[in-house]
Amino acid sequence: MMRISLNLLSPQQKEYLKYERAYFYVRTVMWLMIIFTITISSLLLIARLMLQDNYATVLTTTAMVNNKNTVIDHEIANLNKTLMEMEKIQSDFIKWSNIIIDINSVIPENIEVTYLNLEQKNRLFNLHGKALRREDFLNLKSALEKLPYLEELSSPLTNLLLRENVSFEFSGKINFKKVSL
């Protein structure tokens, strides 16, 4: 079978029809692009609103956490300050009773102590008293020199002048590093 095509349109009408089809395709493509752009814009706008809401929530949560942490940080700072003060107090602590017991244990029987001064700040040691005999005084001197924490122990020469009823004085420095706790 043979196909016969009958063309009743003039060449100008054919040209016009060709441009009209092209215009229709371009217009359809443009509408599709506009619809696509509007859809994407709507989705981006919704995503932006969701992100803004999420950002506001995160800021609020962070602010609350920071406020909570500020209180905790303040409490920790106060506790650390207290601990440092306690550590300073403990580092300055000296168990004076051990020193006094040691000094008392080396004092011979015939000696009477009238004055004992122990200074932490200047690390000074002073001891005054009376010995019945000079030998008791010398025994006390040698016993005090044997104590490991008493340094630079000195006494005036006048302590050695009398044989009996010797009034004596000792002075020196205390080495707190050698004091046993």
pLDDT digits 0-9 by tens, 150-179: 888 888 877 777 788 888 888 888 887 766
Question: DSSP for 28-79?
Answer: HHHHHHHHHHHHHHHHHHHHHHHHHHHHHHHHHHHHHHHHHHHHHHHHHHHH
Q: Can you tell me whether residue 158 is helix, strand or coil?
A: helix
Task: Scan for tokens 């030998």, then name that residue.
Answer: 135
Judged on CB neighbours under 10 Å (0-12, 13-18, 19+), 99 is buried
How far is 76 from 7, CA to CA, in rounded Å?
97
pLDDT digits 0-9 by tens, 1-56: 678 777 787 889 889 999 999 999 999 999 999 999 999 999 999 999 999 999 99
- The structure's pTM equals 0.51
Residue 123 Rama label (left phi>0; alpha psi -120 to 50; beta): left
Helix axes 134-146, 96-106, angle to 10 degrees: 140
